[in-house]
Chains A and B, each alone.
Chain A
Amino acid sequence: GENVEQHPSTLSVQEGDSAVIKCTYSDSASNYFPWYKQELGKRPQLIIDIRSNVGEKKDQRIAVTLNKTAKHFSLHITETQPEDSAVYFCAASMGGGGFKTIFGAGTRLFVKA
């Protein structure tokens, strides 16, 4: 069945360093790949996304890369700040922009000041 694997499960970095989170997906029909940030006790918030016709997308300190051949995509956060500390989830979605979205298990990011 559909599956999204996410690594690492926990990541600790020093403030100012970069953080990289990687995900792989199983269903080659997936065509939309969002990333969410979830702080403790709060709702998941969409931080960046990428569609299958694009290889890379950047928004300030955040970037996402997609390799459709290898079926993996990654989140890159540069110049990390303590407020970046949260759980980050990747997801893969099928069906032309919606429904049946499968989430990874999450990466808990700690940014040490």
Chain B
Amino acid sequence: EVQLVESGGGLVKPGGSLRLSCAASGFTFTNAWMSWVRQAPGKGLEWVGRITSKTDGGTTEYPAPVKGRFSISRDDSKNTLYLQMNSLKTEDTAVYYCTRDNYGGSQHWGQGTLVTVSS
């Protein structure tokens, strides 16, 4: 069974940094393309970035709202995905989901971790 467990969320001040982790199991993590998707309170879903497998180059892509501030990385030896978030803004407040991608979309989702950016 595929399991994705996010951790690392919490309260951070504007301008601060936070690193989220996603522990993966139940599939071959090394071969997986992974994404982070967020959901602000009471709002819709927003993709915040993706990393391909190392076999496919280990490349990362980000949408404009987070490009230059967020960075995705992976440690295949630990089956773990990371999201480093810098220069956080109040509008980054959201539940952050780790997803395993397949067939051009997020097939499996974690339970999410809440990030609150507030002074």
Decide whether A and B assemble into one complex. no
